[in-house]
Structure 1
Amino acid sequence: MRPEQVIAALRFDPLLPVWLLAALGAIALAVVALGIWRRGSGTWLRLGAFAALLLWLSGPRLVQETRQSLRDIGLLVVDQSASMQVGDRAALASRARQAIEADAGKLHDLELRTVTVPEGGNAGTRLFTTVDKALADIPRSRFAGTIAITDGQIHDIPKTAPGGAPLNLLLAARGEETDRRLRVIEAPGYGIVGRSVTLRVAVDDLGVNGGTNGDTRGHAGPATLTVRRDGQPFITESVPVGVEQRIEVPITRAGPTVIDMTASPLAGEVSQLNNRAVVEINGVRDRLRVLLISGEPHPGERTWRRLLKADPSVDLVHFTILRPPEKDDRTPLNELALIAFPVRELFVDKIGEFDLIILDRYQNRGLLPIPYLANIANRVRQGGALLMSVGPEFTGITSLASTPLGSVLPGGPARGNAVVDGAFRPYVSDLGQRHPVTEGLAGANPPAPNGGAPSWGPWYQRIQPGPMDGEVLLQTPDGQPLLALNRVGQGRTALLLSDQIWLWSRGHQGGGPQAELLRRIAHWLMQEPELEENALTAHVVDGKLTIERRSTDAAPPGSVVVTDPDGKAMTVPLHEQHPGSAIATLPAAVPGVWKVSQGAESAYAAAGAANPPELADLRATATLAGPLARSSGGGVHWLAGNGNDVPDLRRVEEGAGASGSAWIGLARRHDHVVTGVAALELLPSWLSLPIIAAFLVLAWRREGQ
């Protein structure tokens, strides 16, 4: 606080209401005016009496106040958002902060409070929101002004300066800058496999030839746009600046596709950080088409139909062979209630349209000619999928294992009587414990070394297999295969060597996870990415890169090589999460494409900008907040110019200019607190009444002469 001051002032404390004093004054003036009109000899003495009376009634006092001045409060606001990390802005801001705080320490009538503007996420730089919070506990009568150290990229600029005090901007740059940005106008998050999606982008040059809003066509010539897809070159072309471009990207597989786009740098631009944009498009299948052929009615047929009809992404075509060819009772076709089985249409004309073919207890009775069965096998090799659930019909001379389908199946029946009857509970194999199709199934036997029996219900019949290929995921208690998966060419097959899974759907002795198991088998066959048993995946969520390595190999997971968007590589160890899955996480603060590699496998993840409004324009500029600063009486100063000098801090009187060529000012508000009051009555009653009486006596004597 400043030293105490004594202030004297004349004040009035009326003994009567003001309106009554005014009425008495009017009467007195009327009496005096009448006396003057009649030229009375004592009129002026009567005026003196009336004046003394009114003055006494008005209660004049001489009041002395002892005041103690309060220090004014100024705000120093330091922008620490993402754009302030570009170039040497952070160093310039730190130096300016130290210099201003040192100057403020020399001013005894000023308290300088420093606040920082944190990273605002998707909201951008909320500088004035921070100022408003700081003003919540600052009396407006003591607020001297705001000094903001920033780059000028502020996203909450008000119409008037905070607190009605001067605002000075200290911009961490040499002057107005230029910047090139790659702007994504539209990018779909999903795409249908087999179709193309359209990206709409534009290259903008900001600050070129006075351009500030991105509309800079013709200012700086064309730019080179490079597009990479999952790390591989896709398109490189020259594009005009400021003109929307459309990029067609075909979606060839399910799962994420990472598109990395880069614009060539602009000469003299402040940063290339926003010359890049990354888009992740998730490929999804449009209505998976499934053909279900039931060889004969049986209790498990309804299980398959319910499962597939319950999935909204599945388009199911189901046929049940109710009337095999050998049962011909010579009924005319036009009298049959059942439709004819469209063999040629399904297995010749439209077989390529089905993603998955399921043969449920189907046997070779001649209904499907051998060439048609060969078409199914060829469809599998070309990328299709086949699932067979078999029972006793899989044995003997009518077994499909003896047809061209046998070449794509994981195995066939054993010779002789391969039908095995008797209760047993399916076990998940050691490989199955690590495979995404069967790992973690509810009720399964615990993995080694704990071991134990499964808690799901038993089955009562199975088929003894011959030599098997592929991966055995379910087995009998004595190790005989029950469920085997195999890759054939570009397609996949699955063989379930029992038709008893329907018992689980009926809840027999506790039932089992038949819906989840069959769903996983079907989606693995249709090559859904989340069920790949040997895969390396990566994704970025909330600024963290999560890496997952799925493997059926029991060897230690090892480590991966992570390459950030700037090209810096690091080795990251993987940690086993559960059998078959190992993960690692690390911060992904740099926006762009992150590459994860292990051996010959690679995965890509897209990291978006943490604060898109901050990176949309990286220029240091006074065009946004400069008008507000000047209208408040403050000004704009560039910290990297004029010999790198920080302007001096001064005190100015309220209403005067608060900015000069090499200085900035904070206003003096002269706020104070009253520490003492003394009052002296100028016309006490003992003095006023004799004076009034003296005037009246003199007036009476004068008029009596």
Structure 2
Amino acid sequence: METGTIIFDPLLPWPSVLAGAILAVLFVGVAVWRGLSGWWLRGLAFAVLVLALANPSLQVEDREALSDVVLLVVDESSSQGISDRPAQVAEAIAGIEAEIARLDNVELRVVTLGDSEGNQGTLLMEALANAMAEEPRSRLAGAILLSDGQLHDVERAPDLPAPLHALLTGRETDWDRRLMVQNAPAFAILDEPVTLTLRIEDQGVVPVGLPERAELEISVDGGEPQLFNVPIGEDLELPVTLEHGGMNVIQFNLPEQPGELTARNNAAVVQINGVRDRLRVLLVSGEPHAGERTWRNLLKSDASVDLVHFTILRPPEKQDGVPVNELSLIAFPTRELFLDKVDEFDLIIFDRYKRRGILPSIYLDNIRRYVEDGGALLIAAGPDFAGADSIYRSPLAEIIPASPSGRVLEEAYLPTVTEIGQRHPVTEGFQPEVAGDGPPWGRWLRIVDVIPERGASVMSGVDERPLLVLDRVGEGRVALLASDHAWLWSRGYDGGGPQLELLRRLAHWMMKEPDLEEEALSVAAEGQTMVVTRRTLGEDVAPVEITGPDGAVVLVPLEEVSPGRFEATFEGPEIGLYRLVEGDQEAVIALGPSAPREFEETIASGAVLEPVVAATRGGVRFLRDGVPDIREVREGRVAAGRGWIGITPREAYVTADVRVSPLLPAWALLLLASLLAVAGWLREGRR
């Protein structure tokens, strides 16, 4: 196709041509003022000369017409997979392709989008903008959105130079019930109630006669669900008290009702990390000694620890004649601490304590009961532990994991981690390789010889004698450190050692921190990938049994990555709650969001898209009424009607060749100007 246009290619710069035109006007004006009858012929002559300077040319272009482009953005997110929507989408795509094929010089570009990352919902406008960026704007004749109308980025709608239409899936009778978690904290303090806010809503055309209350199932950490009858359409405040530290997984589930669109939004999972508010520790020092400051500094350095520390400075047998009213000591509140309020402490430490009659046997028996009910007791033994007044010779003997032989060895030795200690989380990694001829850490100078009766000896001293023995008693835990020389490491003696980390781990293990459990199955997730970790004191473990949200069971073998630690990586095929079992250890984890945003609104609606579509004079139509016809309409006209939608032809082209030639030869223009000038002279009668 050829098209011609007149252009100007001046022989002189445009300012010079303009100056010439001004001079011509002045000369003609003078002729008019003097009354010359040939002034108009003179003006024409000047006009021809100015036109010759402007050099009019004819530009001829060879153009190749380009086809118009129509964008079809197909929403294939999860909400489009419910009910019969996939069939509606397939039928609509086929119908649109047939309609576009019927039009001349029109191409169809099909773009699909799925679920977004990070639970952002349906990013329909982002997909449209990306598709527009790949096509020349001059060729866009229209865009069609094939969706349920529930998008989450309408504010990002691009500026479209052609009509935008929305074809919606869904049926008139659609209805759905959803469970929403409106408020759920990420952290909560143990043994203190925290409130979760839930809401159950019905959407769409709710069937007549449906009960106004629903049965809500609640299960914690995959346990047996509890059933509650709750109202629909009201905010539900649910008080929850966490019973253990670490991740607590709470699952809510509504039974599927007949006829509802999907059950994917009938369940929600909340993961709350349980933390302790303040750890209350009772430290009782039997007498002042160098290691007392080590325990105090360790416990006071942790801001989350409330420490109550008593040191017995003046035992009852000390008789020095000092009147009682002159002593600046407070009375030791034995009854209050060891009878009335002993259960308020998370950990009790006896540091070089011996029986002196201060604590009667009933008090010590109450501590034994406290440990069996879930408390923690740590004994840092000094030389008195081997004597006749040892704390072992009391009701506490029933829970202390090792008995004294009566010997105290006063010699230098290197504390070492036993084979089982290398697997135990308290001492894991504390056996460094010896560099050169020197020891890996400093030596201790005293150990109380004890005979292990139960528990695990994780550290040893002289001739592999037990140094640190850990044991579980009932619901509680007991640790026996058979030396009072841990303070040598803190003073840097003989190179020092990891005393702070060792004592910190020991204290936190006794207070049942989940990360320090020696027998535990834990799982962490990033996206859909799970990392399963099994800690054990044994040599090997069986494959972990993973049960998915759909009930499918997969056996995943574990590989040992370090002593006592086995790991495996598993890719979860879908979002939801997974249960893991290995032996007597269980764990649960939820993949994906607590409630996917894709299923917050499942009823098809054009309310969100109508303002965007109306701005381009397009239309919103439901596919239940059939696939509309596609027509061509002029730009600026209404592009939608009953049973049809329109696109705007763009008539875009690409220029293949350009030819430029003068409109008249220069000599012709000069001859014409001369003839006009002579004609004017003759008209004025000058021969």
Q: Is 1:667 the counterpart of 2:648 in the alignment?
A: yes
Indicate the residue corresponding to 1:424 in structure 2: 413
Q: Counterpart of 1:199 in 2: which secondary structure?
A: strand
Tell me, yes or no, if the aligned pair for 1:362 and 1:390 is still in contact at 8 Å: yes
1:244 alignment partner AA? D
- C-alpha change, 1:445 and 1:250, in structure 2 (3 Å) is farther
The change in CA–CA distance for 1:651 and 1:14 in structure 2 (over 3 A counts) is farther
The residue matched to 2:530 in structure 1 has which SS?
strand
Classify the secondary structure of the residue corresponding to 1:517.
Answer: helix
| Cα distance change, pair 55–267 in 1 and its aligned pair in 2 (3 A) | farther
- Looking at structure 2, the residues matched to 634 and 83 of structure 1 have their Cα atoms a distance apart, in angstroms, of 24
Give yes or no for contact 2:417–2:431 (8 Å, CA) kept in 1.
no
How many Å apart are 1:219 and its aligned residue?
9.9
Contact kept in structure 2, 1:463 and 1:497, CA below 8 Å: yes
- Residue matched to 1:66: 61
Instruction: Determine the structure 2 residue equivalent to 1:636.
Output: 620
Q: Deviations over 1:278-334 (max 9, x none)?
A: 111222222111111111122211111111111122111111111111112231222
Q: Does the Cα contact within 8 Å between 2:424 and 2:537 map onto a contact in 1? A: yes
- Which residue in 2 is equivalent to 1:484? 469
Residue 391 of structure 2 is aligned with which of 381, 391, 400?
A: 400
Aligned to 2:142: 145
C-alpha change, 1:177 and 1:33, in structure 2 (3 Å) is: farther
Q: How far apart are residue 200 of structure 1 and its match?
A: 0.7
The residue type paired with residue 569 of structure 1 is V
Identity of aligned residues (%): 41
Residue 205 of structure 1 is matched in structure 2 by 202
Alpha-carbon offset, residue 530 of structure 1: 1.6
Deviation at 1:54, TM superposition (A): 3.6
In the alignment, which of 347, 364, 372 is matched to residue 356 of structure 1? 347
- Inter-CA distance 454–186: structure 2 relative to 1 (3 Å threshold): farther
Residue in structure 2 matched with residue 676 of structure 1 by the alignment = 658
Select 1:180's aligned residue among 158, 177, 180. Answer: 177
Q: How does 1:278-317 map to 2 (within 5 A)?
A: 278-317=269-308
Provide the secondary structure at the position in 2 that maps to 1:308.
Answer: helix
Moved more, 247-256 or 8-17: 8-17
Q: Deviations over 1:166-223 (max 9, x none)?
A: 112233445684332222111112222222110011112333479xxxxxxx998333
Go from structure 1 to structure 2 and tell me whether the alpha carbon gap of 1:697 and 1:611 turns closer, same or farther (over 3 Å shift): farther
Structure 2 residue 151 is the aligned partner of structure 1 residue 154: yes
Alpha-carbon distance in 2 for matches of 1:639, 1:312: 63
Q: Distance in 2 between matches of 1:237 and 1:413?
A: 55
How many angstroms does 1:494 deviate by?
0.9
Distance in 2 separating the partners of 1:462 and 1:318: 25
Q: Where do residues 410-449 of structure 1 align in structure 2 (5 Å cutoff)? A: 410-414=401-405, 417-441=406-430, 443=432
SS of the residue aligned with 1:494?
A: strand
SS of 2:200's partner is: strand
Question: What SS class does the counterpart of residue 79 from structure 2 fall into?
Answer: helix
**Contact 2:213 2:229 (C-alpha < 8 Å) held by counterparts:** yes
Change (3 A) 1:121 1:665: farther
Instruction: Using the TM superposition, name which of 457-466 and 675-684 deviates more.
Output: 675-684
Q: Matched residues in 2 for 1:270 and 1:180: separation?
A: 8
Question: Is 563-572 or 363-372 further displaced after alignment?
Answer: 563-572
Within 1, Cα distance between the matches of 2:530 and 2:157? 43
Would the alpha carbon gap of residues 132 and 116 (structure 1) be closer, same or farther in structure 2, given more than 3 Å must change?
Answer: same
Distance 1:10 1:466 in 2: 110
- Tell me if the contact between 1:161 and 1:628 (Cα under 8 Å) persists in the aligned partners: no
Q: Deviation at 1:87?
A: 4.5
Separation in 1 of the partners of 2:521 and 2:95?
52
SS of equivalent to 2:349: strand
How far apart, in 2, do the equivalents of 1:27 and 1:159 lie? 62
8 Å CA contact 2:73, 2:145 repeated in 1: yes
Which range moves more in the overlay, 139-148 or 437-446?
A: 437-446
Shift, 1:392, TM fit: 1.3
The alignment's TM-score, normalised by the length of structure 2, stands at: 0.87
Structure 2 CA distance for aligned equivalents of residues 453 and 276 of structure 1: 61
CA contact (8 A) 2:221 2:248 kept: yes
In structure 2, C-alpha distance between the alignment counterparts of 1:120 and 1:570, rounded to whole Å:
26
Instruction: Tell me: CA distance 1:63–1:240, structure 2 relative to 1, closer, same or farther (3 Å).
Output: farther
Match of 2:247, SS state, is: strand
Deviation at 1:23, TM superposition (A): 8.7
8 Å contact kept, 1:433–1:580:
yes
Q: 1:326 aligns with which of 293, 317, 330?
A: 317
1:487-526 C-alpha deviation (Å, 9 max, x unpaired): 2222111111111222222222222211111112211211
Structure 1 residue 697: Cα displacement: 5.5
In the other structure, the counterpart of 2:213 is: 222
- TM-superposed CA distance for 1:115, in Å, is 3.9
Checking the alignment, whether the CA contact within 8 Å between 2:350 and 2:379 is kept in structure 1 is yes
**Aligned equivalents of 1:586, 1:94: Cα separation in 2:** 34
Amino acid at match of 1:369: P
2:448 pairs with one of 453, 457, 463? 463
The letter of the residue matching 1:681 is L
Match status 1:375 vs 2:359: no
Any idea what the Cα deviations from partners look like across 1:510-546, whole Å, max 9, x if unmatched?
2221111111221121122221111222343323233
1:474 aligns with 2:454: no
Assess if the C-alpha contact under 8 Å between 2:447 and 2:483 holds in 1.
Answer: yes
**Offset of 1:123 from its aligned partner?**
3.2
Please tell me whether residue 696 in structure 1 is matched to residue 680 in structure 2.
yes
* Deviation digits for residues 435-454 of structure 1 (CA, Å, limit 9, x no counterpart): 111122253799xxxxx997
Query: Does the aligned pair in 2 maintain the 1:53–1:688 contact within 8 Å?
Result: no
Per-residue CA shift, 1:101-123, capped at 9, x if unaligned?
67667767445444443524243
Which secondary structure state, in structure 2, belongs to the residue aligned with residue 373 of structure 1?
helix
Match of 1:131 among 121, 128, 140: 128
CA 460–243 in structure 1, closer or farther in 2 if over 3 Å, else same: same
Which of the numbers 261, 272, 284 marks the counterpart of 1:270?
261
AA matched with 1:568: A
Q: Who is 1:409 aligned against?
A: 400
Aligned residue in 2 for 1:538: 523
1:362-411 residue CA offsets vs partner (Å, 9 max, x unmatched): 11121212222212112112221111011210112101111111111112
Partner of 1:247: 238
Change (3 A) 1:542 1:610: farther
Q: 1:602 aligns with which of 586, 591, 595?
A: 586
Change (3 A) 1:12 1:603: closer
Deviation (angstroms), 1:464? 1.6
Residue of structure 2 in register with 1:494 after alignment? 479
Residue 632 of structure 1: how far off its partner (Å):
0.9
Shift of 1:549: 1.9
**Equivalenced residues, count:** 676
> Unaligned regions of 5+ residues in structure 2, if any?
none
Q: Which amino acid aligns with 2:358?
A: L
With normalisation by structure 1, the TM-score equals 0.85
| Alignment RMSD (CA, Å) | 3.6
Partner amino acid for 2:526? V
Deviations 1:606-662 (A, max 9, x none): 2332994333223332221133224313323444653xx5x5655544334444555
2:556 corresponding residue in structure 1: 572
